[in-house]
Chain A
Amino acid sequence: MAEFEWPWQYNFPPFFTIQPNIDTRKKQLEAWCFLIHDYCKHHKLYSLDVTEIQSSDLFYNKKINRKLSSDSLLTVLDELKKKGHLEWADKSKRQFTIVWRTQEEWGKLIYKYVVYNGLTDTVCTLYELTEGEDTVDREFHGLERPLLVKALKTLENEGKAELINIDGNEGVKFF
């Protein structure tokens, strides 16, 4: 996997202090949202734990010895939530899911792949869709199961797919 490219702000020490000036803070939070979004996309991260991620290099730049405090991190994550790129998994705000594509967008991507490869009118298991060898290069490869199901449900609503269950194996039929 190619090296993740950090934005210039990552090496700018004040980036890790929530700015008092409203306009500057707005730019700062926006930059944080972009960074988190890109970082998660690059590393294919979906479900995250606040405590865990806080000590990761995303929020802790060891080179300049700056990190986001718990309060600052919450401010940033709340902003991400406002933009619709984050969903809290619990009320205590300890775990969250990063939404770098909406369910509909995932659905469209998958359907595009299906049509392109002539998989309509066939049944696929959910496993082969996201873990199979054929989809390794696809963006949705490795997509977490709950997200995948949600994405397929959007296709189901459009009449493009049907979720089925064969002997305990989850599968999907595309139309």
Chain B
Amino acid sequence: MATLSLRNLVKTYGKVEVLHGISLDVADGEFVVFVGPSGCGKSTTLRMIAGLEEVSGGEIRIGERLVNDLEPKDRDIAMVFQNYAIYPHMSVRKNIGFGLRTAKMPKADKEKRIEEVAAILGMGDLLERRPNQLSGGQRQRVAIGRAMVRDPAVFLFDEPLSNLDAQLRTQMRLEIKKLHQRVGNTIIFVTHDQVEAMTMADRIVIMKDGYIQQVGTPLEVYHKPANTFVAQFIGAPSMNMLPGTWTGGGVRLADGLGIELPRRNATEGAEVVLGLRPDDLLVTDRKGLFSGTVNIVEPLGADTLVYVGVNGHEVIAKASGREPPQPGQTVELTADAGEMHLFDAASGEALP
């Protein structure tokens, strides 16, 4: 186990800079998830940590060691790939043990270690099988086993669940989390799926266009998003964004509706964006903050998502799952002022 430190990490391809000096400290045994849309630089960062991409600028330290110029094999890391990358011409036993072939330990100890790992992953009876005789989930377990067997300082996961179906993905998510609780190694996990990030991470690193947008625990990034990008990226469905003007005691929306808010760090008359999560914007029988006409209804079972047209904007709100409103119906929407988010319209930064 070890800490991981990134300092002003830069990556350029020719003249194009794709990673613009990111810095991050990961604690020993921490589970950190990098999340962001395609092209945000999360996989590039992971590959630089692994040593598969050269570092154009800045420092990477694993423990106290500067690893910028070390070969991947000398960094004490193990990586699980999106496509599993288990060798099809080798049995599960050989695949898992492959990382140990250069380890200076007796053969019997290697075999014992392979069987221990296989037992942890529930693959003890599949050791003699070839990858083409395994299901997708089993292949992913073999890939994790190959990483585990070396007991590396840092585990790197590059979108390992992307190729699994929804049910298996949920199951593997749980297994990886259990595995982390059991072995306690430092884990860097890359995904574009914010649900994976929220459910697995100790801390989430949200990236966009080669910059870190926010680092925080899942609840921090959900409840206190640093900017409009984070606010809309985390949470499904996305946060509703309503443009308006800060009046000193609240927001006057573009359609003239006024909403009172606790004092914020904004100058009167400033252009702002009011953020309301669909989970916090509820359909009510009483008089609400504003009313609108239901366009679309999406029943989810326990709840219903309701797409409501409000003075030219469409917002998503939540209604009861048992008696949902019908399309065309006029509904009242309400929200607690404490759950409302305010952002600067120009910079997108949160206004605390």
Whether chain B is bound by chain A comes out as no
Query: Which chain B residues have a beta carbon within 8 Å of chain A's beta carbons?
Result: none
Q: Which chain A residues have a beta carbon within 8 Å of chain B's beta carbons? A: none
